Amino acid sequence: MKHIVILTTGGTIAMKEDKEAGGLVPAVSGEDLAASAPGIAELADITVADVSNIPSEFMTPERMMAIARAIDSRAGKADGFVVTHGTDTMEETAFLLETVLHTEKPVVLTGAMRGASALSADGPANLLDAVKTAVSPGAAGQGVLVVMGGRIHAARDVEKMHATLPEAFQSPQWGPVGTVYGDGAVWGRRVLRRPRIHPERLIGPVWLVKCAAGTEADIFEAAVASKAAGIVVEGFGCGNVPLGADRGIRTALAAGLPVVLTSRTAAGSVAREYAYEGGAGSLEDAGAILGGSLSGQKARLLLMAALGAGLSREEMRPLFRD
Ligand code: ASP
């Protein structure tokens, strides 16, 4: 039987309704969580370790790095890992783990959209599905995965697309990599992996700026003035920005800040389609890094990791490409 380590970090999967507080609060220990999913002990030898019990809004890049270290330090004694996590930042932690982990053992993140005391709590089934995925031979080489609502997603692709529904998680660019059905995982495709990097620490702050019609240069100038380590821009469409933002980005590049250009659309990639001012092509020529199909929040973590690994701007570019 395989040995799976469940690391619990918190989130709705570990929360119950508190009448006095008027909402969900952290309440469930890792052991109780594992006990809530009958059948888990028949699938694997389970060890549970509580890392934290926080809402994932309180997750930070540093805490994500601590989870990566917790996984790597146990990798010699485990066949795979399940990380329970709040859904709000699950895609960010999954992506950072996929970026920096040393171990190639399966790592599967899961959580719940409904609290443990809800009539139709989805946490126990998600946890069971995550363990089924972690023990599946097909998980080898697929990198860090997110299992929610019966679907298996690659860390690079997955996004929380709905605020409240159990089927909130989707991979809008390429679709899920598999499903969990019956006894185990059913795989539909192999994940196209990227080289990992292994920074000792992340370097920030990296500002994330979302463009809207009329976004001006001031926010980029503020990033330079506050000594940000870099900026990720969510532009329009295939990575184009308003004229004011274009000016601000050029100011930041001239000040030596790395600037990564992503798209605020949910799917598709940044591309050199337009050559006029504000177009991704002219910004790349000015030194900006094109962020491929990465969301702004994932590109921000990748830039922090790449800076931490001491990579030059040219060495970073391929990490962001599709
Ligand atoms: N706010 C919660 C969290 O991310 C949401 C959830 O877990 O579903 O911690």
Written as tens digits, the pLDDT of the chain (322 aa) is: 999 999 999 999 999 999 999 999 999 899 999 999 989 999 999 999 999 999 999 999 999 999 999 999 999 999 999 999 999 999 999 999 999 999 999 999 999 999 999 999 999 999 999 999 999 999 999 999 999 999 999 999 999 999 999 999 999 999 999 999 998 999 999 999 999 999 999 999 999 999 999 999 999 999 999 999 999 999 999 999 999 999 999 999 999 999 999 999 999 999 999 989 999 999 999 999 999 999 999 999 999 999 999 999 999 999 999 9
Q: What is the pLDDT of residue 147?
A: 98
Q: What is the mean pLDDT of the chain?
A: 96
Q: Which of 157, 151, 51, 53 is nearest to 98 (CA)?
A: 157
What gap in Å lies between CA 197 and CA 232, rounded to an integer? 19
From the DSSP assignment, how many helices (H) and strands (E) are in the chain?
A: 10, 16
What gap in Å lies between CA 144 and CA 147, rounded to an integer? 10
The amino acid at residue 98 is E
Query: Is position 12 annotated as part of the catalytic site?
Result: yes
Q: What is the pLDDT of residue 38?
A: 87
From the alpha carbon of 112, which atom of ligand 1 is closest? 8
The CA 20 to ligand 1 mean position distance, Å, reads 20
Half-sphere exposure of 98 (CA within 13 A, CB side): 29
Choosing from 9, 12, 99, 110, the catalytic residue is 12
What gap in Å lies between CA 125 and CA 149, rounded to an integer? 8
Determine if ligand 1 sits within 6 Å of the CB of residue 240.
no
Can you read off the two tokens belonging to residue 114? 């409904």
Of 87, 90, 92, 93, the residue with max ligand 1 atoms within 8 A of its CB, to mutate for a pocket test, comes to 87
Q: In Å, how far are 93, 156, 223, 247 from 257, measured between CA atoms?
A: 24, 24, 9, 14
The CA 55 to ligand 1 mean position distance, Å, reads 6
Cβ atoms of residues 278 and 240 within 8 Å: yes
What gap in Å lies between CA 71 and CA 227, rounded to an integer? 33
DSSP helix/strand/coil, 252: helix
Determine if ligand 1 sits within 6 Å of the CB of residue 86.
yes
What gap in Å lies between CA 13 and CA 5, rounded to an integer? 17
What gap in Å lies between CA 129 and CA 37, rounded to an integer? 10
Determine if ligand 1 sits within 6 Å of the CB of residue 88.
yes
Of 16, 17, 57, the residue with max ligand 1 atoms within 8 A of its CB, to mutate for a pocket test, comes to 57
